Amino acid sequence: MPAETLEQLVSLCKRRGFIFQGSEIYGGLQGTFDFGPLGVELKNNLKRLWWKHNVYERDDMEGLDASILMNRYVWRYSGHEETFVDPLIDCKTCKGRFRADRLKDAACLKHSKLHPGECEGELTEPRAFNMMFKTQVGPIPDPESFAYLRPETAQGIFVNFKNVLDSTNRKLPFGIAQIGKAFRNEITPRNFVFRVREFEQMEIEYFCKPGEDEDIHSAFIEDHVDWWVNECGLSRDRITLYEVPSNELAHYSKRTVDIMYRFPIGEEELEGIANRTDYDLGSHSRDQEKLSITAKVSPNPHSTERLTYFDQPNNWHIVPYVIEPSAGVDRGILAILTEAYTEETLDNGETRVVLKLKPALAPIKVAVLPLKKNEPAIVETAKRIKKLLQSSGELRTVYDDTAGIGKLYRRQDEIGTPFCITVDFDTIGREEENGLKDTVTVRHRDSMQQERVAISDLPAYINDRI
Amino acid sequence: MPAETLEQLVSLCKRRGFIFQGSEIYGGLQGTFDFGPLGVELKNNLKRLWWKHNVYERDDMEGLDASILMNRYVWRYSGHEETFVDPLIDCKTCKGRFRADRLKDAACLKHSKLHPGECEGELTEPRAFNMMFKTQVGPIPDPESFAYLRPETAQGIFVNFKNVLDSTNRKLPFGIAQIGKAFRNEITPRNFVFRVREFEQMEIEYFCKPGEDEDIHSAFIEDHVDWWVNECGLSRDRITLYEVPSNELAHYSKRTVDIMYRFPIGEEELEGIANRTDYDLGSHSRDQEKLSITAKVSPNPHSTERLTYFDQPNNWHIVPYVIEPSAGVDRGILAILTEAYTEETLDNGETRVVLKLKPALAPIKVAVLPLKKNEPAIVETAKRIKKLLQSSGELRTVYDDTAGIGKLYRRQDEIGTPFCITVDFDTIGREEENGLKDTVTVRHRDSMQQERVAISDLPAYINDRI
């Protein structure tokens, strides 16, 4: 039974060090969150799983890591300066600002319904508010020398299309994958890490010849749903595909399908997979009139490159079509935590909270626990096992002796540690000759089953199961 | 023989897809760089090595990933609003701006020496220019609602000190490690990725009791020099330690030692290791007057927390001292590339460029090369080996058949691929029965030695050597 409320997750995340409010000691900064000791591991694990699946295990993908600050022309020709806006309404009396599309009928709504009892001022007509963060670059504050914080990682890929092509000799079709921060000045950040001002994206721009685009689009949808299910542990029956209706599509988009997940706040987008046609590469190209671009693009006197692919067999320059799978890291984490969060009633009537994370995602892989903390031989053996495991690959391993064994198990269950290893008197051969010397108890998180494993077999045993 | 000029590296980086100028198709954005397909792998490998050494292989370290946008009070009480400044000089005629500390004697220097022939205008006295990027947060442009892009990752750790302590039950001494982007509005970015406006840091804040600080400081210096040498491959004789003279130390710093590396641009800082005393936790604490803070801190009416550690045995609240090892990811990459870059004259008189990267850092671990690209059995076997290797762990493996074998080897040498695997007629058993069926040639990058290995042994063979 996954988490039913956001509060269950917020509370666990704060208490156990997954996610904290940003700048908390100064009252926070709305829409920002800090990933704590366990959160940073979960996040890194998720990003690595994605990279492995989408870059390493494919033959047609390159990686990229572009900068967050980009020349402002990138955002002019991407269309963001003009269209990356939310409709804003002002209250003429209290100067409050609100998103128009979050009021049912802004014109007749009294302001008091928004913050009851405070103000009943007259509201303005909605007007466009650009959601890109802007900053002055360089020492001279002239109107030309500013930059935006990227509101998406995608454009860093498009403007590097030629650089990647020239340095790798790729043939179509191929993709470029990128993971990185993006920033949006949301008017009303909300729902924990679901809608925030600073977030992280995992994006692919997959370039192909026109005509190949539809099949590739469908293949990505299927592949990425499978990935969320098989590798991230989301249940297939909490995922739906939303076919964006044609009247809601951007003018250049041929088709967009959103992978929706049933979060505690309802069914919301986890990843969007769009067919963006040749809009992006066409928009960022010079000499557009000499290229055959099907999308409607604005004239571009600033670009210094044609972002085309030379099709040798047919001797012409193609402006490739683009399929874009775009997923949110923070939303991915929220979905994974939602799915993994479980409250179970045990046989003895107690409740245990357990995070049923896929072992590859678990922040801590192994906890080594001494049955008795004032027994030097047990403590020494436990610490030796910790060292043994943490040096075999990248197994995050912890040692904990700060409570009784039952409580230690519960602590690890709650943060999703798949294996607890207990060192006891049998391990150190203190009891009678029972053949258990140099073996430990391995306890499995979900089943709570225990088995006896030789210390020397532990690295292989654990690695095989992660 | 490492690289002697920056140009050698810039050229290789662009041509082979390590590092591109940011926003290049729009004339760039000064001080920003994009990491290409090979650069992103090298960077991720470096960050993982650092994390493994400093977090996983220690027993006293937690990780963190705080947000880039932080409440502006963080930067008031850290001291950055007041002191994170460069001295700027204006030309009254042409309005140009220059860093005063980069002119030998600003008062008597003619502007014409800066950009000769353009302007000989009168220069102003130097004045303070704050290097933090500032941006408006939220929809209402009032003077209070702005934030800075963090100019260092360190403060994200200090303001989360209590959160980490409370969620992990750590005892002193312990550290918090973080890797992430930081931004500085440098007046004159220069020297490729050495001095840039957007960069990445790998920082530790290590908290201890006063009195333990000096030994811990020395231990980190030694440990981190060893790490750069043993794990990153820098030669010890290109590293020097710079003891920052006491008259150049910040008022709160007890001692700072910089790890300097001999870059092609000269000897420059790679990592700084500072003893910051109790300045940071003291500065961000409320009720300062009730705490025993040795550093001089400004009164803080905005913090909601005492950033202290309760020393149970002695029943009092300590404001811990902090040792801060702070390294630049981009500078690390520049040092690693400098060191690895080698031009060798071969026996036949040809020159080969080879990047002698540590295998763990190499962007691509294995290249699988078919001896003949129009021999289906060879191609099929080579592709099968690529799949085999890339599914065994996270081995970035490529297949290349776009040139003759000699040229393919040179290509891989130049990007530092430690192993080339060649599939030939013996592999597919086409020649006489010579016992070489199902074996391949493994060629070693540095020695250019080749040996014959069974296909089934390849995963273990490669993994053992990385």
pLDDT in tens, A308-326: 999 999 999 999 999 999 9
Q: Which residues pair with B174 in a beta bridge?
A: B207
**What's the pTM value of the predicted model, to 2 decimals?**
0.95
Three-state secondary-structure class, residue B325: strand
Q: Is residue B19 within 8 Å of residue B277, measured between CB atoms?
A: no
From CA B382, how far away is CA B364, in angstroms rounded?
Answer: 16
Please give the average per-residue pLDDT across A277-299, as a whole number. Answer: 97
For residue B90, the surrounding DSSP H or E stretch is: strand B85-90
Q: What is the DSSP string of B44-84?
A: HHHHHHHHIIIIIT-SSEEEEB--SEE-HHHHHHTSHHHH-
Distances (CA, A) of A263 to A18, B262, B291: 18, 52, 44
B28 touches chain A (CB under 8 A): yes
Q: How confident is the model at residue A123 (pLDDT cuts 50, 70, 90)?
A: confident
Q: Is residue A70 within 8 Å of residue A147, measured between CB atoms?
A: yes
B210 touches chain A (CB under 8 A): no
- CATH class (in words) of the domain with range B364-465: alpha beta
- The beta-carbon neighbor of A70 closest among B29, B134, B178 is B29
- Chain A residue numbers with beta carbons less than 8 Å from the beta carbon of B156 are 34
Contact A27 B88 (CB under 8 A): no
- Chain B residue numbers with beta carbons less than 8 Å from the beta carbon of A33 are 67
Tell me the pLDDT tens digit for each residue of A354-365.
999 999 999 999
Residue with tokens 């050229």: B11
Give CA A210 to chain center in angstroms.
30
- Chain B residue numbers with beta carbons less than 8 Å from the beta carbon of A71 are 22-23, 26-29
Residue A175: per-residue pLDDT: 98
* CATH 3.30.930.10 domain extents, chain A: 6-74+149-336
Going by the DSSP 8-state scheme, the letter that residue B190 receives in this structure is B
B6-74+149-336: CATH topology: BirA Bifunctional Protein; domain 2 (3.30.930)
Q: Nearest Cα to B282, choosing from B324, B261, B252?
A: B252
From CA B290, how far away is CA B317, in angstroms rounded?
Answer: 10
Reduce the secondary structure of chain A to three states and give it as a string: CCCCCHHHHHHHHHHHCCEEECCHHHCCCCCCEEECHHHHHHHHHHHHHHHHHHHHCCCCEEEEECCCEECHHHHHHCCHHHHCEEEEEEECCCCCEEEHHHCCCCCCCCHHHCCCCCCCCCECCCEEEECCCEEECCCCCCCCCEEEECCCCHHHHHCCHHHHHHHHCCCCCEEEEEEEEEECCCCCCECCCCECCEEEEEEEEEEECCCCHHHHHHHHHHHHHHHHHHCCCCCHHHEEEEECCHHHCCCCCCEEEEEEEEECCEEEEEEEEEEEECHHHHHCCCCHHHCCCCCCCCCCCCCCCCCCEEECCCCEEECCEEEEEEEEHHHHHHHHHHHHEEEEECCCCCEEEEECCCCCCCCCCEEEEECCCCCHHHHHHHHHHHHHHHCCCCCCEEECCCCCHHHHHHHHHHHCCCEEEEECCCCCCCCCCCCCCCEEEEEECCCCCEEEEEHHHHHHHHHHCC
Q: Is residue A378 within 8 Å of residue A423, measured between CB atoms?
A: yes
Residue A107: per-residue pLDDT: 42
Contact B24 A160 (CB under 8 A): yes
Distances (CA, A) of A247 to A251, A256, A280, A294, B335: 9, 11, 20, 19, 53
Lowest mean pLDDT segment, chosen from A288-292, A420-424, B232-236, B386-390: B386-390
A146 touches chain B (CB under 8 A): no
From CA B113, how far away is CA B108, in angstroms rounded?
Answer: 11
Three-state secondary-structure class, residue B183: strand
Tell me the pLDDT tens digit for each residue of A362-379.
999 999 999 999 999 999
Q: Which residues pair with A206 in a beta bridge?
A: A175, A323
Contact A163 B74 (CB under 8 A): no
Residue A118: per-residue pLDDT: 52
Tell me the pLDDT tens digit for each residue of A209-232.
999 999 999 999 999 999 999 999
B312 touches chain A (CB under 8 A): no
Residue B87: per-residue pLDDT: 84
**Residues 171-200 in B contacting A (C-alpha not used; CB under 8 Å):** 176, 178, 181, 183, 185, 187, 197-198
Residue A454: per-residue pLDDT: 96
Distances (CA, A) of A2 to A349, B232, B403: 20, 44, 54
Contact A37 B73 (CB under 8 A): no
More confident of the two residues A429 and A100? A429
A316 touches chain B (CB under 8 A): no
Q: Check the CA dihedral B101-B105-B109-B115 and report its sign.
A: negative
Q: Which two tokens stand for residue B456?
A: 């089934």
Residue A116: per-residue pLDDT: 43
| Runs of H (alpha helix) within B66-175 | 72-77, 80-83, 154-158, 161-168
Q: Which two tokens stand for residue A38?
A: 């366990």
Tell me the pLDDT tens digit for each residue of B272-302.
999 999 999 999 999 999 999 999 999 999 9
Residue with tokens 């209250």: A91
Going by the DSSP 8-state scheme, the letter that residue B418 receives in this structure is S
* CATH 3.40.50.800 domain extents, chain A: 364-465
Which long-range contacts link B218-223 to residues 24+ away (Cβ below 8 Å)? B220/B273, B220/B323, B220/B325, B221/B257, B221/B259, B221/B273
Q: What is the dihedral of CA B99, B100, B101, B104, to 10 degrees?
A: 120
Residue B68: per-residue pLDDT: 98
From CA B274, how far away is CA B272, in angstroms rounded?
Answer: 6
**Residues 251-280 in B contacting A (C-alpha not used; CB under 8 Å):** none
B347 touches chain A (CB under 8 A): no
More confident of the two residues B108 and A458? A458
A106 touches chain B (CB under 8 A): no
A133 touches chain B (CB under 8 A): yes
Q: Which one-letter amino acid corresponds to residue A434?
A: N
Please give the average per-residue pLDDT across A111-129, as a whole number. Answer: 65
From CA A182, how far away is CA A200, in angstroms rounded?
Answer: 6
Tell me the pLDDT tens digit for each residue of A252-271.
999 999 999 999 999 999 99
Tell me the pLDDT tens digit for each residue of B243-272.
999 999 988 999 999 999 999 999 999 999
| ipTM computed for the complex | 0.94
Taking only the tens of pLDDT, chain B with its 466 residues reads 799 999 999 999 999 999 999 999 999 999 999 999 999 999 999 999 999 999 999 989 999 999 999 999 999 999 999 999 888 887 777 777 777 776 644 443 454 455 444 566 777 888 888 999 999 998 877 778 899 999 999 999 999 999 999 999 899 999 999 999 999 999 889 999 999 999 999 999 999 999 999 999 999 999 999 999 999 999 999 999 999 999 999 889 999 999 999 999 999 999 999 999 999 999 999 999 999 999 999 999 999 999 999 999 999 999 999 999 999 999 999 999 999 999 999 989 999 999 999 999 999 999 999 999 999 999 999 999 999 998 877 789 999 999 999 999 999 999 999 999 999 999 998 766 788 999 999 999 999 999 999 999 999 999 999 8
Q: Assess whether pLDDT exceeds 80 at residue A166.
A: yes
**B466 exposed, middle or buried (CB, 10 Å; 0-12, 13-18, 19+)?**
middle
Q: Which one-letter amino acid corresponds to residue B259?
A: I
Q: Assess whether pLDDT exceeds 60 at residue A106.
A: no
Q: Is residue B64 within 8 Å of residue B176, measured between CB atoms?
A: yes
- Chain B residue numbers with beta carbons less than 8 Å from the beta carbon of A198 are 67-69
- The beta-carbon neighbor of A65 closest among B35, B57, B391 is B35
Three-state secondary-structure class, residue B137: coil
Q: Is residue B208 within 8 Å of residue B172, measured between CB atoms?
A: yes
Q: Assess whether pLDDT exceeds 70 at residue A114.
A: no
Reduce the secondary structure of B250-283 to three states and give it as a string: CCCCCEEEEEEEEECCEEEEEEEEEEEECHHHHH
From CA A385, how far away is CA A397, in angstroms rounded?
Answer: 9
